[in-house]
Chain A
């Protein structure tokens, strides 16, 4: 069973580990301005500090898929995730405008559109298929990121203290 990412702001410190793990997993090209598929940030309001993650929530009815004129984005039946094939992407940015979570990023390539081709989180579903955790969940040092499924996937953050005897 493939899981979605779950985020617990109470445990997050906006340390950036998830973002860097995502950069490493997906070779995010920060030099050209690309941002990773997940970014946890802290918002301040007076003395209130709120931690939020900008990431794909794999909406049941994904507005990005509806907005894309090239039909790059789709709901994958098997995994329940919002996946994409950006071969036909023209970099119009409609998906990014439609997404309420700021989850879409663009990668510039010499042969691609000037804005770059859209990319986003795929919940590392191929890693999950291979029995591995998504890169960001694997990396999160505070346990703020988890996987929604309760299948055979071991969640190392739960038993960290038990093992660290």
Chain B
């Protein structure tokens, strides 16, 4: 038996070591798959963590990112007090102030902008994470501004728009337990959705066929796929149409389903007939024979489930239409809202889907300020405006700098990160020109350094919050440790601001918990009951998932719309999911390569983990993946510096030659201070439907970096 000292060093929980375990959630990534975490705590500090054994989401597992949660929470640049800027914007000179002083400065300055330019001149922005967003949105509307916006202007929402156009529902998830064939479009769960990899593995063991469409040879391609379609970035729409054409011509479609539930089949059919396998091969690089093979595999192995891709697929200049084109295959095969196909999933609370609904949507919207101008981006991206009603934050930099159609002079932001935007240098400049900028963050980030006032918020381990999880679960979490320094939860900061501004909103002023009770008032959840055990998620009383087939179609035609009745109103848009060049349009002769910004790695998430030493040690330097063939042609070896240039700019970065990527492509992860891939996007390179930047398909050229001789 080991001694107490040895047990302490090995971090064994027990009375002899003074180590206790407490459960919380990891909120490093998107809220959908938030995992339960068991923290080992000693003397008020987390000394170790691991996946929570009996959590319904992760069952004891945890990913590379979440396992570094301790170093994330204790990052050296955690902000401990509110800060007031004393130097130039961006330099990072601040003085610590009290919360009271901070609010005493914030309140008159927000009021001044409101009085001088109108309430919508103050924009309210949420970066990552999303847990407090219903509160922030309500704050914005109660303040009188229409300009609530989020980093979801670049992530996930485009797929929501696509589903809304097709079905009227926000989202649908693949039913892997019953699927006969899985179309893994942009699927590499090993890096970005580790739990899904287990579900796919189990389905594969019972015989589900797997087709993967990707430009990279990923671990999922190596380990899980029956047919790999290796595609040139940004050409996916053509491939989807090619597969559709084969399904139609070989009569592998569900005529009864189409007749009853699909709108616009005939014009869609006519349109996709132009996408012969040979033309698809020319456009996408996928061999014609494989297009036929994919259609045959889908036809012979239904029902068809398709991977949901919140980022990769929609990150091109034609992203939303591409997503529509891929999801059209579920309409053709009759697998939308059918067992083994795509199961509609309503949003439950704060961007999480748990199988039931709350008043999370109504909570902010009941305060919507009418008689205000349309939000930022509405003119440039009218479809975004119609379908989301939120600010399209990718137009924020332009509106701040140009002041049209009306001025935006102040920003209240939580976790804003300018490097998440395409052409991010524009936003950096715009933020410097504001009259007033407040940023709330855990860390003194490069964006926070541009702010006038910086407020410290705390991590998920330091707060209690209402959470929902898939399968009908809810929890009111409990802090594992005290908030570091004077940091506070975002929802408290929001309610405090509402109070100090004396907004006409009794509910928001009465604090986060009252708001949660209000949002839950039509559910069977009793918050007091839930709070009796804050260590575990609990099944919501009477929870019953809506069975497949019972969701219906909430479009104007009451059908799955291949021809969109929303889009047909806009002369500038195509009602069908049409294919077009999705690059930034730069001259292919001058810029023969394609830059893919944001291709996933297993140990990073945006830029929030770049400064976590454990994770940074796994790849200390930013690297650009290029093909072995291109590296040989350039005479470049691993670690050699190369220059990547687009129509918008250039950067220098270490090369990583690999057989995983296609010749002619360059893959760089985003958010690095010293190699900012998103700065290479031109400011006009956006999907006109969604406003999303075309991160995954910008034309570029590369060369070996010149030796600097001085």
Q: Is A16 a contact of B48 with CB atoms below 8 Å?
A: no
Interface string of A45-61 (1 = CB under 8 A from B): 01101000000000000
Query: Do residues B50 and A139 form an inter-chain contact, with CB atoms below 8 A?
Result: yes
Give the contacts of A8-61 with B (CB-CB under 8 A).
10-11, 13-17, 19-21, 23-25, 28, 30-31, 35, 44, 46-47, 49
Q: List, in ascending order, chain A residues with CB within 8 A of B1's CB.
A: 129
Are B603 and A15 interface neighbours, CB within 8 A?
Answer: yes
Interface residues of B in 153-207 (CB under 8 A from A): 190-191, 194-195, 197-199, 201-202
A13 touches B602 (CB 8 A): yes
The segment out of B3-11, B488-496, B514-522 that lies at the interface is B3-11
Q: Is the CB of B197 within 8 A of A141?
A: yes
Give the contact stretch, choosing among B64-72, B523-531, B584-592, B662-670. B64-72
- Kindly state the separation between the CA atoms of A19 and B7 in the bound complex, as whole angstroms: 21
On whether the beta carbons of B2 and A21 are closer than 8 Å, the reply is no
Binding stretch for chain B, among A67-75, A89-97, A110-118, A157-165: A157-165
Contacts of B70 in A (CB 8 A): 24
Known: A20-B603, A46-B659, A156-B53. A141 touches B2 (CB 8 A): no
Q: Is A5's CB within 8 Å of the partner chain B?
A: no
Known A-B contacts A20-B67, A20-B68, A30-B614; the reply to A129 vs B50 at CB < 8 A is no
In the assembled complex, B617 has its CB within 8 A of some CB on chain A:
yes
Q: Are B618 and A16 in contact (CB under 8 A)?
A: yes
Among the 9-residue stretches B119-127, B217-225, B294-302, B309-317, the one with 4 or more Cβ atoms under 8 Å from chain A is: B217-225
CB proximity of B385 to chain A, nearest CB, Å: 39
A124 to B2, CA, bound (A): 12
- B50, A161: Cβ atoms closer than 8 Å: no
B12 touches A17 (CB 8 A): no
Whether B50 pairs with A135 at a CB distance below 8 angstroms is yes
Q: Indicate whether A132 reaches chain B with its CB closer than 8 angstroms.
A: yes
A101 interface contact, C-beta 8 A: no
Task: Given A13-B190, A126-B7, answer yes or no on A138-B603 (Cβ-Cβ < 8 Å).
Answer: no
- In the complex, the chain A residue whose C-beta lies closest to that of B17 is A130
**Residue in A23, A31, A46, A141 with the greatest tally of chain B CB atoms within 10 Å:** A141
Q: Is the CB of B617 within 8 A of A30?
A: yes
Assess whether A47 is in contact with B659, with CB atoms less than 8 Å apart. Answer: yes
Are the C-beta atoms of A141 and B62 separated by less than 8 Å? yes
In the bound complex, CA of A86 to CA of B283 (Å): 62
A15 and B64 contact, Cβ closer than 8 Å, known pairs A20-B614, A28-B614, A161-B202: yes
- Closest chain A residue to B658, Cβ basis: A44
A127–B12 contact, CB under 8 A? yes
A142 at the interface (CB under 8 A from B): yes
CA distance A126 to B14 in the complex (A): 13
B:306-344 near A, CB below 8 Å = none
Picked from B12, B14, B190, the residue with its CB within 8 Å of the CB of A15 is B190
Residues from chain B with a CB closer than 8 A to the CB of A44 are 658-660
CA distance A30 to B49 in the complex (A): 18
Q: Is B671 an interface residue (CB 8 A)?
A: no
In the bound complex, do residue B62 and residue A13 qualify as a contact, i.e. CB atoms below 8 Å apart?
A: no
Q: Which of B12, B67, B217, B614 contacts A132 (CB 8 A)?
A: B12
B63 within 8 A of A: yes
* Identity of the chain B residue whose Cβ is nearest the Cβ of A163 in the assembled complex: B59
In the complex, the answer to whether B602 meets A15 with C-beta atoms within 8 Å is: yes
Contact indicator B217/A25 (Cβ below 8 Å)? no
- Residues of B contacting A163 in the complex (Cβ-Cβ under 8 angstroms): 59
How close is A2's CB to chain B, nearest CB, in angstroms? 12
CB distance from B177 to the nearest CB of A (A): 9
Known: A23-B614, A47-B659. A15 touches B11 (CB 8 A): no
Residue of A nearest to B205 (CB): A161
Of A20, A24, A126, which is within 8 A of B2 by CB? Answer: A126
Number of interface residues of A (CB under 8 A): 37
Q: A142-B190, A142-B197, A156-B60 are in contact. Are A21 and B67 (CB under 8 A)?
A: yes
Chain B residues, CB < 8 A from A13? 190-191, 219, 223, 602
A19 to B271: give the CA distance in the assembly, Å.
51
Q: Which residues of A contact B222 (CB under 8 A)?
A: 49
Known: A10-B223, A15-B63, A16-B603. A30 touches B190 (CB 8 A): no
Of the listed residues B12, B199, B602, B617, the one surrounded by the most CB atoms of chain A closer than 10 A to its CB is B617
Q: How distant is A41 from chain B, measured CB to nearest CB, in Å?
A: 10
A19 to B9, CA, bound (A): 18
A84 and B202 alpha carbons, distance in the complex (Å) = 40
- Given A16-B618, A138-B60, A156-B59, answer yes or no on A24-B49 (Cβ-Cβ < 8 Å): yes
**B639 contacts partner chain A, Cβ-Cβ < 8 Å:** no
- Return B138 CB to nearest CB of chain A, in Å: 35
Task: Please determine whether B63 and A141 come into contact, CB atoms closer than 8 angstroms.
Answer: yes
| Minimal Cβ-Cβ distance residue in B for A51 | B219
CA distance A11 to B198 in the complex (A): 11
**How far is A120 from B190 in the complex, measured between Cα atoms in Å?**
27
A141 touches B194 (CB 8 A): yes
Taken together as a complex, chains A and B put the C-alpha atoms of A68 and B203 apart, in Å, by 50
CA distance A130 to B2 in the complex (A): 9
Contact present for A21 and B50 (CB under 8 Å) = yes
Contact residues in B for A135 (Cβ distance below 8 Å): 48, 50
Q: B613 and A31: CB pair below 8 A?
A: yes
**Complex partner residue of A24 from B68, B197, B201, B217, CB under 8 angstroms:** B68
Contact with A along B222-241 (1 / 0, CB 8 A): 11000000000000000000
- Kindly list chain A residues whose C-beta atoms are within 8 Å of the C-beta of B195: 141
Please name all residues of chain A whose beta carbon is closer than 8 Å to the beta carbon of B59 when the two chains form the complex: 156, 160, 163-164
- Distance, CA A156 to CA B198, complexed state (A): 13
B501 within 8 A of A: no
Expressed in whole angstroms, the Cα–Cα distance for A17 and B7 within the complex equals 23
Complex interface: chain A residues within 8 A of B615 (CB): 16, 20
Using CB atoms, name the residue of chain B closest to A20.
B67
Chain B 687-710, CB within 8 Å of chain A: the 1/0 string? 000000000000000000000000
Query: When A and B form their complex, which 9 residue pairs have the shortest distance between CB atoms, in order from nearest?
Result: A126-B10, A13-B219, A15-B602, A13-B190, A30-B617, A20-B67, A141-B194, A161-B202, A17-B64
23 interchain pairs, CB-CB under 8 A:
A10-B223, A11-B223, A13-B223, A15-B63, A15-B64, A17-B62, A35-B617, A49-B222, A124-B10, A126-B2, A126-B9, A126-B12, A129-B1, A130-B7, A130-B12, A135-B48, A138-B50, A141-B61, A141-B198, A142-B197, A156-B59, A160-B198, A164-B59
Assuming A11-B223, A46-B659, A156-B61, what are 11 further A-B pairs, CB within 8 angstroms? A16-B64, A17-B63, A24-B71, A25-B11, A30-B613, A126-B2, A126-B6, A126-B12, A132-B12, A160-B59, A164-B59
